[in-house]
Amino acid sequence: MKKSIKNLASFFVICSLLITTFSYPVHCETDNISSDLDNSVVDYDYLKQPQVNWEAYKEKVEVRGIYVTANSLGNKASFDRLLGIVKNTEINAMVIDIKEDLGILAYKPDIEFVKQNGLDKNTKVRNFYDRIETLKKNNVYLIARIVTFKDTNAGSKRPDLAIKTKSGRVWRDNKGNVWLNPFNEQAWEYPISIAADAALNGFNEIQFDYVRFPTGGNKGSISYGQAEQSMTKADAISGFLKKAREELEPLGVYVSADIFGDIINNKNDSGIGQNLEMLAGATDILCPMVYPSHYAMGSYGAKYPDSQPYTIVYNAMKRAKDRIDKSDNSRKAILRPWLQDFSATWLKKDYGSNWIPYKEPQIQAQIKATKDAGLNEWIFWNASNRYTVNAFKNLEQ
């Protein structure tokens, strides 16, 4: 049963938002698209404008956050440990997996499309609503991370929404993942519906990750369909985010997007649909992944980038801020970098004696670099949610 976090605002929004949801029929997983597949355009009206607009009541905080997996949210020991970080340090936000890399959901949202296609059969967190309520009571700023177009779960069940090969089969990347087609506006509705449900359940912000075209695999075999002829990849990605913000803004949440760090140095879309200026005009917050370990040797003048975290983060974020400040967008996203709280052991061979593990000095160097670049918000990534807790205490304001 959903808890008290669904307040009176949620009642009004639910009445207008969830009257009608996805009406697609169920399709079994297949690589061969049958001729009788229903590809008709459906009039999505589950996101009708709510009678109560809560946009003016959005809570704005200077985010200092950590990433939290659905598994950590559900496990009591992990949950208590991570909540303890919030209570005992200057961390005030959590980026929580709602839809993971394979499309697996953290909980069972009240969405017809999910139910019809069996997308909630293997959810991660049994006591999801209790956990969210506890975090809200502790004044944690909640960010719902939604892996957007990389979605083997939905793409396998609904191949009409997936990227295809030129022969009409479902395309898979070099790791076997299925991707929803960003050119297909019908494929936009599912992640937006997940975002709307997260907003109704108390999240302050929706963060779209993998909001891009695929990078790995035989991309030459892809056919994106007719839509590819009428828009660019950058148009498709920024169009999706604009649509998401338009639909989610009345629910009182911010919209953020995770982006590759290399687009900061690229004037086009890097072949994945991510153009810095276009995305800055389509979102409230942009989160470049400027992990020092991910930069090639020599980047920004740093011979060993992972061993020079201040240099990498400062130069990357300063350049990103300068570009956005100079853009002609009437509305510009703020920047909030993804920073690194893990040791890149795979670099030991190339770095030799110059390799260093990440401890308090490396964590705090990245925070200082962000501040020196003129930015006040940041979030840290550690895939196993094991953070350098002391690095987040007594931070210089």
pLDDT computed for residue 209 by the predictor = 98
pLDDT computed for residue 172 by the predictor = 97
At residue 91, what are phi and psi to the nearest 5 degrees?
-65, 135
CA dist 330 to 103, 228, 268, 320, 389, Å?
34, 27, 20, 17, 39
Give the tokens for residue 77.
């020991």
Would you give per-residue pLDDT tens digits along the chain (397 residues)? 444 444 444 444 444 444 334 333 333 333 333 333 333 334 444 444 445 555 645 668 999 999 999 999 999 999 999 999 999 999 999 999 999 999 999 999 999 999 999 999 999 999 999 999 999 999 999 999 999 999 999 999 999 999 999 999 999 999 999 999 999 999 999 999 999 999 999 999 999 999 999 999 999 999 999 888 889 999 999 999 999 999 999 999 999 999 999 999 999 999 999 999 999 999 999 999 999 999 999 999 999 999 999 999 999 999 999 999 999 999 999 999 999 999 999 999 999 999 999 999 999 999 999 999 999 999 999 999 999 999 999 886 5
**∠ CA 10-11-15, rounded to 5°:** 110
pLDDT computed for residue 8 by the predictor = 43
Buried b (16+ CB within 10 A) or exposed e, 334-371: bbbbbbbbbbbeebeeebeeebbebeeebbbbbbbbbb
Cα(186)–Cα(269) distance, rounded to whole angstroms? 23
Question: Domains in the chain, please, with CATH?
Answer: 8-27+42-289 (3.20.20.80)
Strand partners of residue 205: 143, 254
CA dist 319 to 176, 227, 296, 313, Å?
35, 33, 17, 10
pLDDT computed for residue 210 by the predictor = 98
Residue 260 C-alpha from the chain's centroid:
12
Helix (H, G, I), strand (E, B) or coil at 165: strand
Residue in the structure block whose two tokens are 């506890």: 134
pLDDT computed for residue 397 by the predictor = 53
pLDDT computed for residue 45 by the predictor = 44
